[in-house]
Structure 1
């Protein structure tokens, strides 16, 4: 039963939209600005570097917090990676905003850092290389997520349930990917 509470509260934590809070603080509705997305990139476009940083940190902390709570509670990695999935689900589809949230980048990055800091360097290197070679941060992110998750799952560092979270983030970026390919 405690696991169910943990997963449900992970979803609820995910629904705390940092971009919405930062936008309200600055007197803007970020849902009415640029892409309408409640993530760090849109906050940066509308509010500048400070808006981007505040939103990225807040959203990233959601992923970190879920992992740390799971470890503190003594849950195994499989349960913790499901909690990461649920915090992402909350961030992407917050019930109180008609299921229109962010795209999950900062949240999954925060979770990946907390899940395994040593292997996180694989994500960073893959992201930099992919972004540079393909001239696109979106493609760099997608490549980094696929490479990182493949390596940590193959090396048996993290369970395959991590793929559910990666798939969610890639799904939310499908439109960006399609635009870049055309």
Structure 2
């Protein structure tokens, strides 16, 4: 574990949080002259809800930026404080979920988590991406694919990197399950929208 007892530690983690806090989906919707994603579909600013707005390019751009946020946070830490790299990634995901600029109401952290893992271990990322893609195609539920992927990520980490990434994956999994708690409830009730379903006004629970 780390002890934050130096000013550089605080700076690195603060920068990581600010990277994560960039509201990608909202910025892309403004630049693309699209409706505010918070007023449509799930009300989320992430890639899946951007796709529901009907603009694949905007969704892809949102996905790219969200992934890069996590990657940049890890790279920044690797350059200045390598020992904090994994924690910087976790903090970036926290920033994405609870962004400073949107009153701490952000996305669900999946794409940013992928960006974090990409910089920490590309083999682990490839395994997770393959899992997500497989279950997304099979079920057409983005949320379910994400939950299964991160549930398995710690096992993947144990095989490809030993114990070094297991704790990071467990923390990311806990965050993903928390942000998807309402999705889990809708999945249980059979009310979760599938990938490609038409958009609708947001529910109160995202």
Give TM-score, length-normalised by structure 2. 0.79
Structure 1 residues 123-159: Cα deviation after superposition (integer angstroms, max 9, x where no partner): 1232234445555332222111121223314622425
Is residue 106 of structure 2 the alignment partner of residue 101 of structure 1?
yes
Unaligned runs of 5+ in 1: none
Equivalent position SS for 2:132:
helix
Distance 2:32 2:138 in 1: 36
Runs of 4+ off more than 4 Å: 132-135
Is residue 22 of structure 2 the alignment partner of residue 16 of structure 1?
yes
Name the count of aligned residue pairs: 180
Equivalent position SS for 1:38:
coil
Unaligned runs of 5+ in 2: 1-6, 190-206
Distance 1:113 1:63 in 2: 9
1:52 to 59, 74, 83: 59
How far has the Cα of 1:110 moved from its partner?
A: 1.2
Distance 1:150 1:162 in 2: 9
Structure having the higher Rg: 2
> Contact between 2:16 and 2:88, CA under 8 Å: does it hold in 1?
yes
Distance 1:98 1:124 in 2: 30
Distance 1:25 1:150 in 2: 40
Is residue 166 of structure 2 the alignment partner of residue 140 of structure 1?
no
Distance 1:39 1:135 in 2: 17
Give TM-score, length-normalised by structure 1. 0.89
